[in-house]
Amino acid sequence: MSEGVGTGAGSGPARLHGCPVTETLGQRTVHTGTQRYLPLMEALYRDGFEACMGLTGVDYLTHPGRELPDDVRAERFEVVVELLSFSRRERLRVRCQVPEADPRLPSLFDLWPGSEAHERETYDMFGVVFDDHPDLTRILMPEDWEGHPLRKDYATGHVPVQFKEAPK
């Protein structure tokens, strides 16, 4: 188990670098908010999590009632990061609560350069801004697109489909 984990009778819930840890179906998850996000991620990098396997956003606008540790305040947005330690054969999930009023986090690019495209996609689809990202531009939608399509309050639209005449 990683350095900085506290467990045991009377010590309360497990913590990793000061952040609460939960476990579901064998998957350990560390919970944090925006203020502790970068220090936590830097500590996990030093702990030997060599790879960021994925990063994505979640919009809980229509589902605010989710299970979180008591000392974690639920926010509208959540950024979920999957880390992997090859040397210890260990996987860890990080769930960061991101407020609707200021949806921004520091970029993980300097720690895990492979996070670059994941952060761009999360920015494009959810509108979460990653400070100090080397190229925070749209990756899926056209540059002039208005809004962020995976937000729950994004108006659904349609694209007219033109069919050619069927062959005779």
> What digits encode the pLDDT tens for the residues 51-70?
999 999 999 999 878 899 99
Q: What residues of the chain score a pLDDT lower than 70?
A: 1-12, 166-168
37 phi and psi angles, rounded to 5 deg: -60, -60
* β-strands 15-16, 51-59 pairing: unpaired
At 12 the pLDDT is 66
Q: Which residues of 85-95 are buried (b: 16+ CB within 10 A; e: fewer)?
A: beeeeeebbbb
Q: Is the pTM of this model over 0.75?
A: yes
Rg over alpha carbons for the chain, rounded to the nearest Å, is: 19
If you average pLDDT over every residue of the chain, what do you get? 91
Q: What single-letter DSSP state applies at residue 164?
A: P
In sequence order, which ranges of 14-133 are alpha helices (DSSP H)?
34-46, 116-126
Q: What is the CATH architecture of 5-131?
A: 2-Layer Sandwich (3.30)
Q: What single-letter DSSP state applies at residue 166?
A: P
Give the type of residue at 75: E
pLDDT tens by residue, 94-116:
999 999 999 999 999 999 999 99
Q: Which two tokens stand for residue 146?
A: 């208005």
